[in-house]
Amino acid sequence: MIPKTIAEIEARIRQSQSIPDTRRAELLALVATLKEEVGELAKTRGEQAQNIAAHTRAYADEVIIEGGRPAARQSAQDRLTGSVSEFEQTHPKLVEVVNRIATMLSNLGI
User: Do residues 49 and 1 touch, judged by C-beta distance below 8 A?
Assistant: no
Report the pLDDT value the prediction gives residue 110, as an integer from 0 to 100. 61
Q: What is the pTM of this model?
A: 0.89
The pLDDT tens digits along the chain (110 residues) read 899 999 999 999 999 888 899 999 999 999 999 999 999 999 999 999 999 999 999 999 888 876 567 888 889 999 999 999 989 889 999 999 999 999 998 888 66
Give the angle subtended at the CA of 75 by the CAs of 58 and 73, to the nearest 5°.
65
Report the pLDDT value the prediction gives residue 109, as an integer from 0 to 100. 66
State the Cα–Cα distance between residues 54 and 6, nearest whole angstrom. 8
Tally the C-alpha atoms within 13 A of residue 102's C-alpha that lie toward its C-beta: 24
Phi, psi of 67 (to 5 degrees): 85, 10
